[in-house]
Amino acid sequence: MSVIIEQPMERVARIRLNRPEVRNALNQETRAQLAAAFERVGANPDVRCVVLAGSDKVFAAGADIRDLSERSAVEMMLRNTHRLWQAIADCPKPVIAAVNGLALGGGCELAMHADIIVAGEGAAFGQPEVRIGIMPGAGGTQRLTRAVGKFRAMKMVLTGQPVSAREALEMGLASEVVADGEVQARALELAAEIAALPPLAVMQIKEVVLAGQDASLDAALTLERKAFQLLFASADQKEGMHAFLDKRKPEYVGQ
């Protein structure tokens, strides 16, 4: 299997790329396995947060060029790869990307499907597709622009030059940077913290942030307001507020 699902701790799933011989390059089979993995953990009520990881050496070095070099335009269209990427984007649980080493091309696009990115000091992010005669095709021109702005995104996609983890953090392409040896542990620490919070509120926050980012401000505020009001129908809201008033630790059940 080129994608492995693990449960390193209660309520947290880890989806790990496992193609070390090709630096976790993303071929069609790997993309299909990623989509299936995200659908599985997204539907699992016992999972409240997901960590997406490569190895301690490399996250994902990009698409598998051997799998693409002789393909025709029609073959590429019929692959419907966008549907496989959408399965990741549609995951209702928060996703934390743990990025060690290279996150290039499809690897960078994969990381950008996450909600939080924890990068190691030695990580590098880039969209080098232009250097082999193509362009990003899984969000590299769109998610990147929304994350870092037009001028920084244009420099990355037009030159193919990668940026360091510290540069990524400064421009808004990473949430935090830690020592290379601490990436996986830090991602799991954050996942455990989120998994201990009320899952309905967490999922509503993710849904509203993603749905509202490309809407008008008025429409996005309406989404936020309605989601806020809806949570008052949950048992977790009552539990959270009563626990606060009683000065005790809340127990959230996702109802």
Catalytic residues: 63, 106, 109, 129
- 174-178: long-range contacts (C-beta < 8 A, 24 or more apart)? 174/99, 174/117, 174/118, 174/119, 174/123, 174/125, 175/116, 175/117, 175/118, 176/118, 176/119, 177/118, 177/119, 177/120, 177/121, 177/123, 178/118, 178/119, 178/120, 178/121
Residue where the block lists tokens 């590429």: 76
Which residues are CB-contacts of 72 (< 8 A; sequence separation ≥ 6)?
Answer: none
**Cα–Cα dist 234/34, whole Å:** 32
**Cα–Cα dist 128/218, whole Å:** 37
Q: Distances in Å between the alpha carbon of 199 and those of 38, 49, 62, 175, 193?
A: 17, 9, 33, 21, 11
C-beta neighbour count of 171 within 10 angstroms: 17
Decide if 160 contacts 128 (C-beta within 8 A): yes
**Cα–Cα dist 123/21, whole Å:** 19
Beta bridge partner(s), residue 16: 4, 53
How is the chain split among helix, strand and coil, in percent rounded to 5?
Answer: 50, 15, 35
What is the longest distance spanned by two Cα atoms in the chain? 66
